[in-house]
Amino acid sequence: MSKTISIIIPAKNESISLGGLLRQIKTVQPTAEIIVVDDGSTDKTPEIAKDNGATVFSHPYSTGNGAAIKTGARMASGDILVFMDGDGQHNPDDIARLLEKLHEGYDMVVGARSTGSQASIGRLAANQFYNRLASFMVNHNVEDLTSGFRAVRADKFREFLYLLPNGFSYPTTSTMAFFRAGYTVAYEPIIAAKREGKSHIHPIKDGIRFLLIIFKIGSLYSPLKLFVPISFAFFLTGIVYYLYTYLSIGRFTNMSALLLSTSVIIFLIGLVSEQITQLMYSNRSN
């Protein structure tokens, strides 16, 4: 059975690039539903979207990129959702490749940006760090954790709407949630163009937010991956300190006891969290 496609574009003050983007989408995906979620724009973004045939849902004020994504996902009628930015970075010609990969049986296909597509060396280094940390957390290779260009099966994506943050971290959360839920994720190489207009991302603030989201999802879906290394660090520190005090003053000190007992407590918290997670997914699958 042919699947219907909804293309969702969150947009805030993207009047410079949005018109050309929508015309190009109409050319390469003429049968797709196109939804533009206007996140409190103060320019002519909603008017341009309507003039180019898109369905527009407007937030009365800016609630965040993730909130716009959630609005679009709730309102879309397609079986397959395609998310892309409205700033001209994502090439509509690549949508066909994402969909082709999705039709191979994957549940989500992410447009993985090439090294040359990164905005700066700092952004490249940060994204590589996020990718490696996320890969460790979910025990899968994560090639591009923060890419906002992706195609996904609508019913599966909507399962995790309650988890998605309202800011720029929705790609991080959805990718890690899919992996932990046992859904299949593939990556398709893309080249992202330089954005038109001013970026809404604040590198330091949003970088810290991305990092916190990784730990949040890690603790929710794979707690032992997070708690065991911390427990081991306390345990190792306690043993080293005990050897130092035993050899220097011949005593087992309160600090050694505190470090060792803390390591045990952290491990037990991780173990209980892991059991709760397993029960949650067992109930979810029934």
Query: What architecture is domain 5-220?
Result: Alpha-Beta Complex (3.90)
pLDDT of residue 177: 82
Side by side, the strands of the sheet bearing 5-11 are 55-59, 33-39, 5-11, 80-83, 150-153, 108-113, 185-190
- Once rounded to an integer, what is the mean pLDDT over residues 43-60? 95
Contact 154, 80 (CB under 8 A): yes
Angle between helices 65-75 and 170-180 (to 10 degrees): 60
- Once rounded to an integer, what is the mean pLDDT over residues 213-217? 70
Residue type, 60: P
pLDDT of residue 280: 63
pLDDT of residue 286: 45
Contact 28, 95 (CB under 8 A): yes
Q: For residue 56, what pLDDT band results from cuts at 50, 70 and 90?
A: very high
Could you count the other beta carbons within 10 Å of the beta carbon of residue 73?
23
Query: Strands 108-113, 33-39: parallel, antiparallel or unpaired by DSSP?
Result: unpaired
pLDDT of residue 58: 95
* 123, 129, 237 from 263: Cα distances, Å: 35, 26, 9
pLDDT per position as a tens digit, 112-158: 987 655 555 666 777 788 788 878 877 888 888 889 999 999 999 99
Q: How far apart are CA 115 and CA 132, in angstroms?
A: 15
Is the alpha carbon torsion for 138, 169, 209, 160 positive or negative? negative
Q: How far apart are CA 81 and CA 157, in angstroms?
A: 9
Residue with the larger pLDDT of the pair 128 and 272: 272
Q: Does the pTM of the predicted model rise above 0.85?
A: no
Q: For residue 273, what pLDDT band results from cuts at 50, 70 and 90?
A: confident
- Once rounded to an integer, what is the mean pLDDT over residues 100-121? 82
pLDDT of residue 245: 93
Q: For residue 76, what pLDDT band results from cuts at 50, 70 and 90?
A: very high
Q: How far apart are CA 108 and CA 98, in angstroms?
A: 9
pLDDT of residue 112: 92
| Share above pLDDT 70 across residues of the chain, in percent, rounded to a whole number | 86
- Once rounded to an integer, what is the mean pLDDT over residues 152-175? 88
- Once rounded to an integer, what is the mean pLDDT over residues 34-62? 95
Query: Strands 150-153, 55-59: parallel, antiparallel or unpaired by DSSP?
Result: unpaired
Q: How far apart are CA 76 and CA 67, in angstroms?
A: 14
Q: Report the range of poorest mean pLDDT among 163-172, 216-225, 248-257.
A: 216-225
**What is the DSSP code (8-state) at residue 14?**
-
pLDDT of residue 176: 81
pLDDT score of 167 more than 90: no
